[in-house]
Amino acid sequence: MTNLNAVPFHEKSYWEDRFKREKHFEWLLTWNNIKSEIIPFLNVSDEILHVGCGNSTLAFDIFESGYRNITNVDYAENVISYMKSVTQKREIEAKINYSSISWYKGDCLYHLQSYLPKKVYPVVIDKSLIDTIACGDDDNQSRVKRLAAEILSVTETDGHWFSVSFSSEREYHCQMNADTNNVYHWKTKRKIPIQVTQLNDKPGAPPIYYYLYINQKIKVT
């Protein structure tokens, strides 16, 4: 049966319409919530790829922690133009040089590499992009597998994909044959529950958790 009230999170037009009105919304968790788990894996010179960036301030927050090279991608053209203007405004107001933060329109499900300035990245971050992709998926999770494969193709060997989701049951299955001798896949090394405080929490309300998955691109032996 079709659910007439379902929000079409998997449709690009939904996001483009939303970004006409919405200037900032931070999905699930902030950089402050997750940085202690991610920073141990980062080098200051790492090129960080942030996929499904929306109008989140994550790139600026990561920058403030000392990481300079952050490439952001989203398929909604209007949010990319908007985030470029936000970057310029912040540069003027805060007198900070953000030239190492870049914004690209690109579809993370199809030929992701073709939208990017670099071939591979040591670090990829998605914050609830995976949830959006999972909406409207089939029983085989074809869209989630496709996302996992696209991100695998733009990640360095042994590089990491940090994925934030509301679901405790995400799976990052996919396999990539670089050539006949080299096959890669994602190994989920950790799934970290992060408790969130809701503004309207009542005394005795059950705790709510979101999840940070730490995946590593591994050569299959």
Ligand X SMILES: C[S@@+](CC[C@H](N)C(=O)[O-])C[C@H]1O[C@@H](n2cnc3c(N)ncnc32)[C@H](O)[C@@H]1O
Min CB(128)–ligand X separation in Å:
4
Q: What DSSP string describes 5-74?
A: T---TT-HHHHHHHHHH-S----S--HHHHHHHHGGG--TT-EEEEES-TT-SHHHHHHHTT--EEEEEE
CA angle in degrees (0–180, nearest 5) for 59-167-201? 85
Nearer to ligand X, 13 or 218 (CB): 13
Q: How many C-beta atoms surround the C-beta of residue 149 within 10 A?
A: 18
**Stretch near ligand X under the rule CB under 6 A, chosen from 62-70, 102-110, 154-162, 167-175:** 102-110
Nearer to ligand X, 183 or 192 (CB): 192
107 binds ligand X (CB under 6 A): yes
In the structure encoding, which two tokens stand for residue 18, read together? 């939303």
Of the candidate residues 72, 127, 130, 186, the single one contacting ligand X (CB under 6 A): 127
53 binds ligand X (CB under 6 A): yes
Helix (H, G, I), strand (E, B) or coil at 198: coil
d(CA 117, CA 47) in angstroms, rounded, equals: 11
15 binds ligand X (CB under 6 A): yes
* String of contacts with ligand X for each residue 17-36, x by CB under 6 A: --------xxx---------
- Residues 129-158 touching ligand X, rule: CB under 6 A, are 129, 132-133
52 binds ligand X (CB under 6 A): yes
Of the candidate residues 42, 47, 49, 56, the single one contacting ligand X (CB under 6 A): 56
75 binds ligand X (CB under 6 A): yes
- Beta sheet of 121-127, edge-to-edge order: 101-105, 69-74, 47-51, 121-127, 155-165, 208-219, 182-196, 175-179
Nearer to ligand X, 42 or 108 (CB): 108
**Stretch near ligand X under the rule CB under 6 A, chosen from 127-135, 153-161, 179-187, 196-204:** 127-135
